[in-house]
Amino acid sequence: MTEDRKLAVLRAIVEDYVRTQEPVGSKALVDRHNLGVSPATIRNDMATLEEEGYIAQPHTSAGRVPTDKGYRLFVDRLSSIKPLSPAERRAIQAFLDGSLDLDDVVARTVRLLAQLTRQVAVVQYPSLTRSSVRHVELVALGPARVMVVLITDTGRVEQRMVDTGATASETLLADLRSRLNTALAGVRLADAPGRVEQLADAFGADDRTVVTAVVSTLLETLVETREERVVMAGTANLARFGQDFPLTIQPVLEALEEQVVLMRLVGEATSTSSLTVRIGAENPEGLTSTSVVSLGYGSGDQALAGIGVLGPMRMDYASTMGAVRAVARYVSHILTES
């Protein structure tokens, strides 16, 4: 059995099983696929694939289904990712272009991806630690009260209220705002604290109380790490695949409730060009009956965060990978061009 024929037979079994939800027999392969060999050869090839662990027989006299190992080989050798149709691409662009802010982008993206794939969609918020400063705004709310607004290059907006302990004049705030933006514009948040820690020394003694209060609050915002989170949609889609989960779907639902698990899965997508596909036992406990397709989004090849789809191992990998890639690219464009 040549490697090419092994892949052709395995590909036919995966495609038929995904489409029909039924174990695949040799007769079905002969009837549906032009594999160029006799039915007896197909049966021998299937026996070899089973011996090598790529397919399995769920019960006596049944056809064969792909195993984790079989899906892995199929995905690794997948020659093409199914592109979205022009109509689908236009619909994605129109839907996401209407986003008002980062929260809206994330909410629209996760709903859209769940609808496109009819599976569970997961979108990670851009990490502040991977973002850069776009602008710092200072807004006077009273004689001694200021709102500090930090805007990142991903559209993330962080706001903090500051009791300055002294009167913050418009002139002082304008000067401080200018100095902050000169020091921080375009600087990655991880590098930003060192740019502003000594800023108070540039002001007179009368203004240092206000400046110190504002800078201290800004520093707290820059080192804040609690913002890491994901948004999920389409959990109800799993009900369509009840037979794909052994005994019960409960472990999958319980795992999906754990934000840490989901962040780990989509957070592994550190590239905006290379899709990550985790299959079966490659996933954490509770999700070993699922597959996860993920990709990073952001500027260039460096991902700011991840976007992904979770579904049964019996998924249409080519279409799912195509949808994740297309949506991730649109999100990257919106966040980096806005």
CATH number of the domain within which 212 lies: 3.30.390.60
Domain count of the fold of the chain? 3
Residues in the chain: 338
Q: What is the pTM of this model?
A: 0.76
CATH of the domain at 325: 3.30.450.40
Cα 323–chain centre separation: 12
Q: Which residue has 């050869």 as its token pair?
A: 41
For the stretch 137-192, pLDDT in tens is 999 998 899 999 998 887 778 888 999 988 899 999 999 999 999 999 988 887 88
Q: Are 76 and 278 in contact (CB under 8 A)?
A: no
DSSP result, 162-211:
EE-SS---HHHHHHHHHHHHHHHTT-BGGGSHHHHTTGGGGS-TTTHHHH
Q: Which of 222, 241, 269 delimits the end of a domain?
A: 222
Same domain, 247 and 150: no
| Cα gap 80→215, rounded to integer Å | 52
Burial track 276-297 (b if 16+ CB lie within 10 A, e otherwise):
bbbbbeebbebbbbbbbbbbbb
For the stretch 203-257, pLDDT in tens is 888 898 999 999 999 888 777 644 568 899 999 998 888 777 766 788 888 888 8
Residue 129 has pLDDT above 80, yes or no: no
Same domain, 146 and 259: no
Phi, psi of 101 (to 5 degrees): -160, -175
Q: Which of 222, 239, 264 delimits the end of a domain?
A: 222
Give the mean model confidence (pLDDT) for residues 93-119: 88
From the CA atom positions of the chain, what is the Rg in Å?
Answer: 26
Q: Which of 169, 198, 222 delimits the end of a domain?
A: 222
Q: Which residues, 6+ apart, have CB-to-CB distance to 43 below 8 Å? A: 26
Q: Which residue has 């990550």 as its token pair?
A: 276
Give residue 53's domain range.
3-76
CATH of the domain at 22: 1.10.10.10
Q: Is residue 81 part of a domain?
A: no
- Give the pLDDT score at 1: 63
Q: Which residue has 């029909």 as its token pair?
A: 20
Q: Which residues, 6+ apart, have CB-to-CB distance to 17 below 8 Å? A: 23, 24, 65, 66, 314
Same domain, 268 and 191: no
Q: Which two tokens stand for residue 236?
A: 């109800």
